[in-house]
Structure 1
Amino acid sequence: MTTSPWIKRFHPAPQAPTRLVFFPHAGGSATSFFAASRALAPEVDVLALQYPGRQDRLAERPVEDMGTLVDRVTEELMPWTDRPLTLFGHSMGSSVAYEVALRLEEKGMPPLGLFASGRAAPRVPVTRRLHLADDDELIRHLGELSGTDSQLLADESLLRMVLPALRGDYRVLETHRPEPDRSLSCPVVALCGDADPVVDPADVALWERHTSVSFRMRVLTGGHFFLDAHLPVVVREVHDHIAAATAR
């Protein structure tokens, strides 16, 4: 496979029969899925997306439009579609993964499934306008999510470096208007934290209306970044889903 700045493959598993693609949260990076990649390999070949404007792509301008982002991600994933793909997004990543899944289905390559984690369903309107907030308000919001690295919040110079990517990601989310009645032809698994300050489990449950096949939801203990504390559970969910999907 050709290398791409968009895709990180921390633990290559060339013999794995399927691949899983991780889509990060707003302001997040591919490395947030390093531990999950290690846990899933070598049974699953894991790809993690790295958007412009962060880490090794810090000098690049963040993408601020959902259509542009989804088109580019879909293009970057095409060389990896020689094996079935499962898509896993967290927070903003769930929205991007959903739109990419729709694109893949249009191309005749439906994914094995979509994991939508920590994100309300597309039919739930986005009312916040954080991309218009000043830096101090964005920083306060990060603190409220209680999942951002405390060292990052304490290092103002580092924090200021990541704010453009965060603001760009919020612009992607808050200016996008998904078609409320579109549904996937692949299964959807929704995950959320029972104490998430920004995502209501009732809104997560509405993902059921975005698939024409099976839907399953699991509520785990924790806040917006509940995945960090439940890695073994999440890995098992992924393994079980892929096994069932390939058996079908």
Structure 2
Amino acid sequence: MTTTGTTRRARWFTTAGADPNADHQVFLFPHAGGTAPAYQSWAATLPSTMEVRTLQLPGRQERLGETPFTEVEPLLDALLEAFEAELDGRPYVLFGHSFGGLLAYRLAVAAAWNGLPAPALLAVSAWAPGLEPAADLARVSSMSDAELLARVAQLGLMAEGTTLDPATLASIMPALRGDFLVAGSLREDGEPAPCPVAAYCGALDPIAPPSGMATWEDHCPDFLGTAPFPDGHFYLFEHATAVQHSLNRHLRRLAARS
């Protein structure tokens, strides 16, 4: 079992200027191998009613010297501790893409198990419980670096045929491989999310197509539906603003209900 050092608040979640007057805290979870800057524009483009905090896992950028996690349970234990320190009583939203969606979902479940307030909204992009292609993808962790990068390229994360120099490979591969190992270690238990769920995906995604995202209906008390967008697994790169508008609409409608 791989572990890391301390769970210091400033290391796990980054902020682009905390705003205590915002109505909601919004926690963002990147894709496998991803980093906090993947969401660097969200703080500027989300409504001012949302304060953005982005997850930065061990093994990347300023945390490069820390060993990446390779199992889901120890990662969730450490993540929950860091996450609890971020909460300040305001309602909050969890949004994750792909591997980040898995983490956001399991963090919402862990928060409920440990007596913490449930999210006002769990928004999950390109991941759903029990998707067989996603489970198959987790097994690419056993591939060589070249095979793993080729598989990731097929999903649109980088151009196919891209070659990386040894220094870049050494900096990104442990985190990427570790994230796939974490995903592969998840054992589905059917536990429902303790809050409303909104789903997002690429219409051409081979891993999490719109039909697969519909499984969320069986994993939450209030499924708000799936919003498909053009493109594949990494549709979010081109359609982030539309997703942000959708999140804002969902929050306003949920607030009107209550």
Q: Is the contact between residue 153 and residue 159 of structure 1 (CA under 8 Å) also seen in structure 2? A: no
- Distance, in Å, in 1 between the alignment partners of 2:204 and 2:40 is 25
Letter in 2 for 1:91: S
Alpha-carbon contact 2:9-2:86 (below 8 Å) kept: no
Q: What amino acid sits opposite 1:92 in the alignment? A: F
Task: Output the amino acid matched with 1:198.
Answer: I
Give the deviation of 1:101 after TM superposition.
0.4
Structure 1, unaligned stretches of length 5 or more? none
1:15-74 CA-to-partner distances (Å, cap 9, x unmatched) read 101111001110001110111222115220110000000111111100111111112111
Counterparts of 1:198 and 1:51, CA distance in 2: 23
- Aligned residue for 1:214, secondary structure, equals strand
Deviates more, 1:222-231 or 1:48-57: 222-231
Aligned 8 A contact 1:144 1:197 in 2: no
Kept in 2: contact 1:12–1:42 (CA 8 A): no
Question: In 2, distance between residues paired with 1:167 and 1:142?
Answer: 11
Would you say the 8 A contact 1:89–1:116 is kept in 2? yes
CA positional deviation for 1:152: 11
Deviations 1:178-221 (A, max 9, x none): 202x2123111110001223323221111111101233111100
Q: Does 2:51 match 1:62? A: no
Match of 1:44 in 2: 50
SS of structure 1 residue aligned to 2:41: helix
| Residue correspondence of structure 1 range 72-83 to structure 2 within 5 A | 72-81=78-87, 82-83=89-90
Amino acid at match of 2:156: S
Q: What pairs with 1:157-196 in structure 2 (closer than 5 Å)?
A: 157=166, 158-180=168-190, 182-196=191-205
Equivalent in 100, 109, 118 of residue 107 of structure 2: 100
TM-score after normalising by structure 2 = 0.88
Aligned match of 1:222:
231
Partner of 1:116: 124
> What is aligned with 1:235?
244
Q: Flag the 1:152–1:87 CA change in 2: closer, same or farther, 3 A.
A: farther
Alignment deviations for residues 134-160 of structure 1 (CA, whole Å, 9 cap, x no partner): 111011012112133x59944323133
Q: Aligned residue for 2:5?
A: none
Of residues 179, 182, 198, the one that matches 2:207 is: 198
Q: Which residue among 129, 143, 152 is the counterpart of 1:142?
A: 152
SS in 2 for 1:115: strand
Distance 1:152 1:213 in 2: 42
Shift of 1:4: 1.8
Is the Cα–Cα contact under 8 Å of residues 216 and 223 in structure 2 kept in the other structure? Answer: no
Q: Is contact 2:153–2:160 with CA below 8 Å preserved after alignment?
A: no
Q: Distance in 2 between matches of 1:91 and 1:60?
A: 23
Residue type matched to 2:170 in 1?
R
Q: How many Å separate the matches in 2 of 1:160 and 1:151?
A: 19
1:77 counterpart letter in structure 2: F
TM-score (norm 1): 0.92
Q: Distance in 1 between matches of 2:210 and 2:160?
A: 29
Displacement of 1:77: 1.3
Identity %: 31
Q: CA deviation at 1:105?
A: 1.7
SS of match in other structure, 2:95 = strand
- Verify the 8 A CA contact 2:123 2:197 in the aligned structure 1: yes
Question: Structure 1 residues 62-71 or 150-159, which shifts more?
Answer: 150-159
